[in-house]
Amino acid sequence: MKKQIHDFQIIANRRVNEEYFVLSLSGNRQLPEIKPGQFVQVRVDNAPNTFLRRPFSVYDVDYKKNILYLLIQIVGEGTRILSELKKGEILNLIYPLGNSFSLPDGEKALLIGGGVGVAPLMLLGRWLKEQKKEPVFLFGFRNYGLLVDIDLFTGFGKVHIATDDGSTGEKGLVTQHSFLRKVTGDISMVYTCGPDVMMKAVALWAEKKDIPCEASLENTMACGFGACLCCAQETVHGILHVCTDGPVFNTKELIWQI
């Protein structure tokens, strides 16, 4: 898919919780096909201390309404400025970037997300359902207040939740969730996105169960399209780049740095 650079208009800026918000973006032209796992590079205007673009996974796409959705967590000045954007304001995007998740062999797939890492799992869940697969979600959040659009995810499959403080779902890490203990041979693929420690633990669990696992990684990147070579990821094939070789990797190829 040809990479593009365009201005989008903000259709809505919806606050999801204390830390997260969803931008609904619409451009003048029809959106190209955006695959689950792909990302965009957003230019943050009027932000004196924000020099580079910010990469975000595509949260969801509505081709009929021609709207692209981004789920963003406020972590620094750039994302704070984005969180304050109003309907009608303009955002410049480079997209679609990176590779995408692959289709599972069997029917049932487990999508494990932590925090804002649930972002690419929405579009993935939608796609899997469209492909007549059966996605099941397992999400970890710090607490009840940081839950993200559970009702929307539920539209694609069952959602299991773990929270650090037990304020909803099971208390503890996603990898300690009782659902994982009940998993038998019916899950044909695990997809994960979230903090590295979580993804590494998920990858180890999947490996033990002999289930293929794909992880969507994050890394500091300047360009997002393979020119700067900053987002280096160590793999069994040597150093690869998260922006063009990823962001989705088969976890068996990864050499975790943690």
Residues paired with 222 in a beta bridge: none
Q: Which of 222, 235, 250, 256 binds another protein (CB under 8 A)?
A: 222
Q: Taking CB under 8 A as the rule, does residue 228 contact another protein? A: yes
Cα separation, 49 vs 95, in Å, equals 23
Nearer to another protein, 121 or 240 (CB): 240
Q: Kindly indicate which of the ranges 67-75, 192-200, 203-211, 219-227 contains the residues binding another protein, using the contact rule CB under 8 A.
A: 219-227
Closest approach of another protein to the CB of residue 220, in Å: 5
Nearest to 201 by CA among 129, 114, 108: 114
Cα separation, 108 vs 111, in Å, equals 10
Cα separation, 3 vs 243, in Å, equals 13
For another protein, what does the binding mask look like between residues 110 and 139, x meaning CB under 8 A?
------------------------------
Residue type, 6: H
Closest approach of another protein to the CB of residue 236, in Å: 13
Nearest to 112 by CA among 25, 183, 167: 183
Q: Taking CB under 8 A as the rule, does residue 220 contact another protein? A: yes
Q: Taking CB under 8 A as the rule, does residue 6 contact another protein? A: no
Q: Which residues of 6-17 are buried (b: 16+ CB within 10 A; e: fewer)?
A: eebebbebeebe
Is the CB of residue 154 less than 8 Å from the CB of residue 133? no
3-state helix vs strand vs coil in the chain, percent to 5: 20, 35, 45
Q: Taking CB under 8 A as the rule, does residue 79 contact another protein? A: no
Q: Taking CB under 8 A as the rule, does residue 2 contact another protein? A: yes
Residues contacting another protein: total by CB under 8 A: 30
Q: Kindly indicate which of the ranges 83-91, 184-192, 200-208, 230-238 contains the residues binding another protein, using the contact rule CB under 8 A.
A: 230-238
Closest approach of another protein to the CB of residue 229, in Å: 5
In degrees and rounded to multiples of 5, residue 142 shows phi and psi of -65, -40
Pairing of β 90-97 and β 108-114: unpaired
Nearer to another protein, 107 or 253 (CB): 253
Q: Taking CB under 8 A as the rule, does residue 221 contact another protein? A: yes
Cα separation, 55 vs 222, in Å, equals 9
Q: Taking CB under 8 A as the rule, does residue 94 contact another protein? A: yes
For another protein, what does the binding mask look like between residues 44 and 63, x meaning CB under 8 A?
-----xxxxx----------
Nearer to another protein, 172 or 226 (CB): 226
Q: Which residues bind another protein (CB under 8 A)?
A: 2-5, 43, 49-53, 94, 219-234, 238-239, 257
